Structure 1
Amino acid sequence: MENNTNKKTNNNISTENKTNADESKKKKIRFISKDSIKDLAIWLTVSLGLFLILEYLSRKSSFEKVQLFIKDNTYATVINILLILGITGIIFFFKHKKAVLWIISFLILGLGIVSRMILEFRGMPVAFMDLYALQDGLSIASRFINAKMIMIAIVIIAFFVIGLVFMWKLDKKSQRFNGISNIIAWVLSILVFVVSIGPIKAKGIMHNIGWDVQAAYELNGFVYSILDSYFGYLRKPPEGYSKEAIAKIREEVDKKAAEDKRTIKKGKDVPNVVMVQLEGFMDPTKIPNVNLSIDPLPNFRKLAEKNTSGYMNVPTTGGGTARTEFEVITGNNFDNLLSGEIPYTSIVKEKTSNSLATALKKQGFTAHALHNFKGNFYNRNKGFKNLGYDTFTSVEYMNGLEYTALNWPKDYVLTDYMKKALDSTKGKDFITTVSVQGHSSYPMEKVNEDYPCKITGNIDEKYKNQLYYYCEQVREMDEFVKQFNDMLLQRKKETGEDTIVLYYGDHMPYLDYLYDGEEYLNRYKSPYTYFATFDIPKEENAITDSFQAGTELLKLGGVEYGPIEKLHAYLRNDKDYLKKVQLVEYDILFGEKYYLKDNEIQKKNTIKMGIDDIKINSAKAKGDILTVEGQNFTARSFVCLNEKMLETKMESPSKLTAKLNGELKKGDTITVKQLGDHDAELSSIKEFKIK
């Protein structure tokens, strides 16, 4: 019996030793093995496949363009493949390699698909800076996403989950490390990239094109471009930046300013200065192979024939309104900023900077901004504040709104609110107005049969439908231009005040006909012209770039230049003009502000939301309904009782009703808040106390 027991014990020990030996053998890391060769092959194949798919997506599903990229941009091709290898190579540190690779691949491809969708909607791919405007993008996503897209997304997510479960099971018996050779291969891919990228960039083979994001992606490849849009966020002083260099530029500017014989208007002769940015505005009669039954732009065309007009280079196409807006307002060249940057969400979100508003306020102007869309979209409420504006009237402060078939606010309403801005002060006013009516997307199905401008021509029906809708929007925008001009002429008769206006388009509209295949028109040029209630000279080729627009506006109006406008006015023909602009721009936006004199530096600023004062005159409760009467309420006015927001309905601009959750008591406080996008508070009025 004892011998049998010993036998069993010995057998158990032998089995345990064998198991330990097997586990020890299993845990031993080899330099290379069959499994490591398989892992290496999967890694290389998937990474190469990801590269090809991403480039295919970013080049609008054109294999021909992918082939040309690989052939003509060999260095960029290698760099992008190395980057993908570097990202996917982390699988060698996981046991479930296939599952991790599946997750990484889906994330990368998901980014590529999203970028392609955004490219279709606005003409520019995704960049790191879009994260700063993610909420804004999601808030208008419903205008672009349809049921078919949602169904496709659900199918893709289901496919991902099923595939992940399958891959996880495949890796059930895998080891964390199958071979040192794979780790070495991964490290080598990173080292080759690090060693190569510097010389390649130094030779200009791969470089950033700040004003043309899509061109940068096509030149440099998708993965590199999207990562570069992040690392470029770490700003560095431009070559040659120093206190002495900036002082020399300012000395040169001041010397030429002293020699300028330009007539500057004084006193009552100084005009109000207005800039009107027209969303997605262009001349549809310039589109080839298309016939229009009427001219949709008779008023703009009449202005262009009489006054200085033309086309200026803008830093965006199809979308990215705030980029052109920022160039015009500040005089800064977007070439010196980051790919896809939205300055309101990055540069002037938290800090002040100089602009036309700050320059004209030094001369006694009051600065107003108007926009018939959401006040905190693109962080405009913070951006305008930090650029020196005194008031900002966004759609949350407007009544009398009309809407397009796609629910964009029409521009007619802007005339009334620009008049209110002009009438709100006794002195001179500077107004920046940003319209929204012409915003994309443009429907491929006909939305109305009664638009007066009919479209004919040898183009697809879907393109005709887009043009049909678009032409109606620009026709009404053109009527708005006339409406505003007529108001200014009438106002001059009543007040004697002169006004000069710059009208310009922010970017080319994203019409598929202009972006699919052949490029019919320059995608980075927008029309501009002027109107004035007094005689202004007509000049040829006055503006080449949108960052020069403000300078030309002040020149034609006989208004004194600000410090940035002086730079453009006096050094524009200098051979090193753009380099000097770059140095001064960096100095003012990110540097030590050596260029600015003490009284020119923008200090902390306050801004009033809306022109009209919102007031509460009385508050009464009947049953569970609270009625608040007052002045200048809008659809975005919300009643708050003791700081708690109530369900509110605007009955009229002088009356709000809200649903109470209990009785109204003596000492309760009522206020009205204006809420913007995502129900963010834009402003709140003084509390009204129940007596």
Structure 2
Amino acid sequence: MLRRGFLGSLLAAVVASVLLQASTLGLFSIRWLGDQLIFGVGFYVDTLVIWLFLGLLWAVLGRLWWSIGVVFALVLAVGVATLVKIQFREEPVYPSDVDFLREPGFLTSMVSPTLLVVAVAAVVGVVVGGVLLGRRMARRYPRPRWRDLRRPHAWLLAGSRVLVGVVALLLLAQAGHFNQPGNLWRSMYEVRGEHWRYWNQKTNYRSNGFIGGFLFNMPVDAMAKPKDYDAARMDEIADRYERLAARTNAGRTGSLADTNVVIVLSESFSDPTELQGFDLEHDPIPRTRARMAGTTSGHMLSQMYGGGTANMEFETLTGQSLGLFRPQMLSPYQMLVPEQADYPSAVGWFRGQGHDAIAIHPYRVGMYKREQVYERFGFQSFIHDTTIGETDTIDDNPYISDDSAFDEVITQIDEHERPLMVNLVTMQNHIPVDDNYDDPIGVSGTGDKRIGQYARGLEHTDEALDEFLDTLEKKPEKTIVLFYGDHLPGIYDSTIKHENAGISLYRTPFFIWSSEPGHNRPRTIPTTSPAFFLPLLYDVADAPVPPYLALLGKLHEHVTALQQGRMLDPSGERVEESDLDDETAQLLADLRLVQFDFSIGDRRAVDRMWPGAVVKKP
């Protein structure tokens, strides 16, 4: 009986492992076979992990088929979640995604009710099926009852279950420390060398096994401590960039002290006319395009396709790059900022310059732990879906319109005597976009109706944004606006994705506009990362910068875009860190030290590099 259980549980683990690999859509491709079965051992170690987990359940429940049912139910749930996430965001499920379980409303809005019902029914069916099958197998192969066993045999059976459970638990507990030096499981995955492809997590899971990729993304310190990090080194860096800031500011005559600063992250705002594979009936964003032509503008390099909103917001507000964090730092909003009492950001800096700081996001406060993050940054108020003045929507779009969001900014400006720093994150163009509007823009070359729906949403944004800027221009107080899209929507099929290889699916428009006459001069910026937005904003205002923004601005002259696994020079060409010239390498090394110091270091340089950036609690 034990032999049958041993073989049956191992076979179940193999099947479960295959199903998880299948959820990444890479199963049995030539590359998958090579990476996981020949050059690497991902599939084998994945199977071992599942088998140990199954053994732990068996030891606890005492029923093999029940345990198999639970394992397959979990595999089914995780597999479906991965399929859905890959469809929309081109990435698998991560450990940090457990936070989204606290927002069931958001999850249900992303998945069709039919799929959700089918998935839940399937999970329940697998568990019930396991129980029923277990009962049938028990009649065919009856388990010995405790009272029928001799005492030595009973003790032996009980001891075996305890031993299996304890050993499995201890081994599985090691998985929680996967990224620690000398970890047993990581050593097993790397027995034939490292194959981690963190710059593309979908490929990472396919190359190292689903569970291997999942464990690779377990929580870890945001950055490794640089070897030369100490008080003397940070003083040296602060001295260097205080001098640079002084040289930069010598010729500047502008100021933001009496100017409203409005940062607008426009959800899923992009330019679909730049993509190949389909044609729209007309340009959905002509007004935005005209604004871009008359001021500082360009393209932002998004971290990912179909998602990553909070990460782009983090980079914009902190000037810190995801590309300098460890690859496991998938979401600083979820994994880093809430764990600290406060955090350096533009919020504190502008408050120190006399601004009131307001965050506006017309959606639930719990998404990406924004409520905690905004409190750590130092925002004085957070306006969300239940506190915003207008909650208008357009046609059947469930999200609050951009027009209502912009009106809230105008209201806040009117009600405050002091200049404002406003961070607005919109929701109107968030997916799903199916049947949102009664009059989608016509599209040819593809049968996907979502593109026309999405384009109509962009047109509504285009109109609302233009009216918003017109209103600001007529007001007596000065305002500067940074507007950017965070990523493309996850609506394009594989054909369109194939036709737009490279960075086409990762580029979104941005511009910096000022209501002050003479500040809007045409200037096209090379493809950039949002971490460099703040120095660009100060360039438009011709305002003096603190040393930290001077460092960012100087690096931006050499490296315009920096994301995990990707670095672009001013010509838009990809460059490797090992190929950087000495000056650029020094700038990047300095920024890495400053980012460590600001994020998880001792903050030795914050007061000199970015005075007031940390808002201390009273």
The TM tier, using the shorter chain, reads: 0.7 to 0.9
Shift of 1:92: 7.0
Q: Determine the structure 2 residue equivalent to 1:475.
A: 459
Deviation at 1:595, TM superposition (A): 1.8
The counterpart of 1:594, out of the listed 584, 592, 604, is 604
Q: Aligned residues: percent identity?
A: 19
Residues in 1 aligned to 2:193 and 2:230: alpha-carbon distance in whole angstroms: 25
1:556 equivalent among 540, 551, 566: 540
Contact 1:127 1:340 in 2 (8 A): no
Report what 1:344 is aligned to.
Answer: 333
Match of 2:387 in 1: 397
Say whether residues 1:583 and 2:593 are aligned partners: yes
Which residue of the partner structure matches residue 310 of structure 2?
Answer: 322
User: Greater shift after overlay, 190-199 or 515-524?
Assistant: 190-199
Match of 1:197 in 2: 186
Which deviates the most, 56-65 or 41-50?
56-65
Aligned equivalent of 1:489, options 463, 473, 476: 473
Structure 1 residues 268 and 581: alpha-carbon distance in aligned structure 2, compared to 1, 3 A threshold: closer
1:385 equivalent to 2:355? Answer: no
Alignment of 1:329-478 (within 5 A): 329-335=317-323, 336=325, 339=328, 341-349=330-338, 351-404=341-394, 405-443=396-434, 446=435, 448-451=437-440, 453-457=441-445, 459=446, 461=447, 463=448, 465-478=449-462
How many angstroms does 1:179 deviate by?
12
- CA contact 1:296–1:472 (8 Å) conserved in 2: yes
| Aligned partner of residue 275 in structure 1, secondary structure | strand
Deviation (angstroms), 1:53: 1.4
Aligned mate of 1:568, from 549, 552, 567: 552
Query: Cα offset for 1:593?
Result: 0.7
Q: Deviations over 1:222-267 (max 9, x none)?
A: 2122223224368753554433443333232223223325533456
| Paired residue secondary structure (1:499) | strand
Once residues 125 and 341 of structure 2 are traced to their aligned partners in structure 1, the CA distance between those partners, rounded to angstroms, is 45
Is the 2:343–2:377 contact (alpha carbons within 8 Å) kept by the matching residues of 1? Answer: yes
Alpha-carbon RMSD across the aligned residues, in angstroms, is 3.7
Q: How many residues align?
A: 560
Does the CA contact (< 8 Å) of 1:563 and 1:596 recur in 2? Answer: no
Higher Cα Rg, which structure: 1
Instruction: Quote the offset at 1:381 in angstroms.
Output: 2.9
Paired AA for residue 539 in structure 2: K
Flag the 1:255–1:79 CA change in 2: closer, same or farther, 3 A. farther
Task: Structure 2: give runs of 5+ residues left out of the alignment.
Answer: 145-156, 176-181, 559-583
**Which structure shows the bigger proportion of residues in helix conformation?**
2
What is the CA–CA distance in structure 1 between the aligned matches of 2:191 and 2:548, rounded to whole Å? 31
Contact 1:358 1:602 in 2 (8 A): yes
SS at match of 1:518: helix
Equivalents in 2 of 1:144, 1:184: separation in Å? 39
Question: 2:480 is matched with which residue: 478, 500, 516?
Answer: 500
CA distance in 2, matches of 1:234, 1:545: 19
> Offset of 1:511 from its aligned partner?
0.7
Instruction: Report Cα offsets for 1:525-574 as digits up to 9, x if no partner.
Output: 32212222232444443552121112211222223334542331234442
C-alpha distance in 2 between matches for 1:565 and 1:501? 18
Deviation at 1:369, TM superposition (A): 1.8
Counterpart position of 2:580? none
Match for 1:281: what amino acid?
Answer: F
User: Closer, same or farther in 2 for the Cα pair 1:105/1:208, shift >3 Å?
Assistant: same
Alpha-carbon separation, structure 2, partners of 1:203 and 1:362: 53
Quickly say closer, same or farther: Cα 1:420–1:591, change in 2 above 3 A: same
Matched residue, 1:531:
513
What letter is aligned with 2:295? N
2:150 matched to which residue of 1?
Answer: none
2:218 aligned counterpart, secondary structure: helix
Provide the rounded CA distance (Å) in 1 between the counterparts of 2:40 and 2:588.
Answer: 31
TM, length-normalised to structure 2: 0.80
- Tell me: CA distance 1:99–1:519, structure 2 relative to 1, closer, same or farther (3 Å): farther
Q: Is the CA contact (8 Å cut-off) linking 2:9 and 2:64 kept in structure 1?
A: no
The match for 1:544 is: 528
Q: Is the 8 A contact 2:43 2:209 kept in 1?
A: yes
TM-score, scaled to structure 1: 0.72
Unaligned runs of 5+ in 1: 1-34, 607-691
* Structure-2 separation of matches of 1:390 and 1:185: 51
Matched, 1:42 2:31: no
Counterpart residue identity of residue 371, structure 1: H
SS at match of 1:432: strand
1:635-674 matched pairs, under 5 angstroms: none
1:79 is displaced (CA, Å) by: 4.1
1:360-408 Cα distance to aligned partner (Å, 9 max, x none): 2222222222222234433323322221223322232223332132311
Match of 2:214 among 218, 226, 248: 226
Q: AA paired with 1:344?
A: Y
1:51 alignment partner, one of 17, 32, 36 = 17
> What is the distance in 1 between the residues matched to 2:165 and 2:372?
48
Q: Which has the higher contact order (CA 8 A, sep 6+)?
A: 2
How far apart, in 1, do the equivalents of 2:200 and 2:548 lie?
Answer: 24
3-state DSSP of counterpart to 1:582: helix
Q: CA deviation at 1:212?
A: 5.0
* Partner-residue secondary structure (3-state), 2:357: strand
Contact 1:274–1:499 (Cα < 8 Å) also in 2: yes
Q: Is the 8 A contact 1:442 1:466 kept in 2?
A: yes
Name the CA distance, whole Å, in 2 between partners of 1:187 and 1:423: 60
Question: What residue number does 2:241 align with?
Answer: 253
